[in-house]
Amino acid sequence: MSKREKLEQRLYALPNDFTWDNLVTVLKGHGYTLHNGKGSRRKFIHESKEMINLHEPHPSGIMKIYVLKQIIEKLGALDSDE
């Protein structure tokens, strides 16, 4: 099992210590590219033009659970479209 697959399994378990870097790895593995906005704003844009808008958490870099749930929902919708 690859590192990305292990991180994706962790994402679906909704851990309270999932980091920004972990999220970037998972989303890039799904075909998203990261685009920096102003300040801590970030956009992940998929090849299919699907977009995820987030704020990069700081200073800790730990993702909030509600954000992880939104990401899981987006990935589920993306997988059902493919």
d(CA 7, CA 25) in angstroms, rounded, equals 8
**Which pLDDT tens digit goes with each residue over 54-79?**
999 999 999 999 999 999 999 988 77
User: Where residue 52 sits, what CATH number does that domain have?
Assistant: 3.30.920.30
- The count of domains in the chain is 1
> Is there a domain that residue 53 lies in?
yes
Taking alpha carbons only, the member of 53, 58, 61 closest to residue 17 is: 61
Q: Report the predicted TM-score, pTM, of the whole model to 2 decimal places.
A: 0.89
Contact 19, 47 (CB under 8 A): no
Q: Which domain holds residue 56?
A: 3-75
> Is there a domain that residue 37 lies in?
yes
**Which pLDDT tens digit goes with each residue over 14-23?**
999 999 999 9
